[in-house]
Structure 1
Amino acid sequence: MRVDRYGAITARSYDLLSGEPVYAVGRRLAVPALGLRPGQRVLDLGCGTGLNLPALLHGVGPTGTVVGLDRSPAMLEVARRKRASATGPGRLRLVQGDMADPEALREAAAGLPFDAVIATYALSLTPDPAGVWRSVSGVLRPGAGVAVVDMAPPTGAAAWAAPLARLACWLGGADIGACPWVVVEPELSRPRRWVRRGGHVRVLVGTWR
């Protein structure tokens, strides 16, 4: 994983440069579709600067917990500062670790399985999405909610933007051709899918069997 691209300087400017006008649509679709309930425990995989946190914290309520896992301490520090001033009643834990490391996932779980996991634009950062998913599934309870949001090259009328999309993914260290939802979907029941931004943003939400 190319986490060297997410050091202190990048972390401070990430929210301005991350293309949220394009990519926020994935978050807006995925989090409500998870159907979070008060008291649940949610893993935000590759949480970065915490763009998912306000919605997740509201979803789990004051008795729930959101655990953000990210390898970059600089990104986690930005998330931590946001939480200090953010609304949202849920409890938050931020854990530094590589999502490809089973030990980091076990540390994030702290001995209790998660009720839901969300990975937004994260699985395409790892060279082995299938391996990461195998490890993640080991810290989920049966019937857990799963949301994967990631990227693909734009198609159809939006194909003209494909070179820009590829450049943006390369700059961020992501593999635009990874298609990590393909790895996850066979293990989900009742999967729902959305395609937005000319096919560039892909959303998969379902229940882990």
Structure 2
Amino acid sequence: MSEDRTRVQEFFGSRAAAWDTRFPDDGPAYEAAIEQSGLRPGDRVLDAGCGTGRALPALREAVGPSGVVVGVDVTPEMLAAAVRAAGLVLADVGRLPLRSGSLDAVFGAGLVSHLARPVEDLAELARVVRPGGLLALFHPVGRAALAARHGRPLTPDDLRAEPRLRPVLSAAGWHLTSYTDEDDRFLALAVRRDA
């Protein structure tokens, strides 16, 4: 197991039981981001880094009864807190146990800043999505608000900054189509390029 993966598991594992109580008002932001992502009934979607499953109900509603939603997380404690949801898989987004091109979309809330190898991990997400499929990278607060919350300055080397994110996504097989970074949300939408 990599040092980065262990660090992520330790960080989230110790916080899993109380995670949802720390951010009780995020539900509407998740719902709005999922609505804007363009998911359709019948889509097959991966919630990458699903944590406690906060996005899963809205994702299920977006794809309807004919769709499929799978939640993947690397932290067993986060998945244990999400047991109310079906289709959960303990896995690293850098090594997904899914067939190539088997999904229509990936939703990743708070995911990007925890990727050990951003280009490689985002390429793995691209591998499991069909050409033309969607990627939605979301956070319920924007970069500046998140930096302020953690008491650190906002820096241009943040992977979520558009000038950094765009080439990383491109190198991983995605084309950035929409970028929003406001105090009350961060949402980057991308489309899977043809292989």
- What TM-score, normalized to structure 2? 0.77
Rate the CA distance shift 1:163–1:146 in 2: closer, same or farther, 3 A: closer
Query: For 1:64 and 1:185, how far apart are their aligned partners in 2?
Result: 28
Rate the CA distance shift 1:52–1:185 in 2: closer, same or farther, 3 A: farther
Maintained 8 Å contact 1:188/1:207: yes
Rate the CA distance shift 1:141–1:38 in 2: closer, same or farther, 3 A: same
What's the offset of the Cα at 1:189?
Answer: 4.8
Overall identity of the aligned pairs, in %: 30
What's the offset of the Cα at 1:134?
Answer: 1.1
Return 5+ residue gaps in structure 2 as ranges: none
Give the secondary-structure state (helix, strand or coil) at the position aligned to 2:50: coil
Maintained 8 Å contact 2:50/2:72: yes
- What TM-score, normalized to structure 1? 0.73
1:193 correspondence with 2:179: yes
Query: For 1:185 and 1:30, how far apart are their aligned partners in 2?
Result: 22
Q: 1:67-120: CA deviations, max 9, x gaps?
A: 101011111111113x3xxxxxxxx4100011122xxx1x2x256611010111
Query: For 2:81 and 2:176, how far apart are their aligned partners in 1?
Result: 35
How many residue pairs get aligned? The number is: 177
Rate the CA distance shift 1:144–1:130 in 2: closer, same or farther, 3 A: same
Give the secondary-structure state (helix, strand or coil) at the position aligned to 2:87: strand
Give the secondary-structure state (helix, strand or coil) at the position aligned to 1:80: coil
Give the secondary-structure state (helix, strand or coil) at the position aligned to 1:54: helix
Higher helix share: 1
Give the secondary-structure state (helix, strand or coil) at the position aligned to 2:83: helix
What's the offset of the Cα at 1:142?
Answer: 0.8
Rate the CA distance shift 1:111–1:162 in 2: closer, same or farther, 3 A: closer
1:178 correspondence with 2:181: no
The match for 2:17 among 12, 21, 25 is 12
Aligned counterpart, 2:192: 208
Aligned counterpart, 1:119: 108
The match for 1:95 among 77, 89, 96 is 89
What's the offset of the Cα at 1:37?
Answer: 1.7
What's the offset of the Cα at 1:57?
Answer: 0.3
The match for 2:37 among 34, 38, 45 is 34
Query: For 2:100 and 2:169, how far apart are their aligned partners in 1?
Result: 23
Return 5+ residue gaps in structure 1 as ranges: 84-91, 168-175
What's the offset of the Cα at 1:34?
Answer: 2.0
Give the secondary-structure state (helix, strand or coil) at the position aligned to 2:82: helix
> 2:120 is matched by which residue type in structure 1?
G
1:43 correspondence with 2:46: yes
Rate the CA distance shift 1:67–1:15 in 2: closer, same or farther, 3 A: same
> 1:191 is matched by which residue type in structure 2?
T
Query: For 1:192 and 1:45, how far apart are their aligned partners in 2?
Result: 19
> 2:108 is matched by which residue type in structure 1?
A
Maintained 8 Å contact 2:31/2:55: no
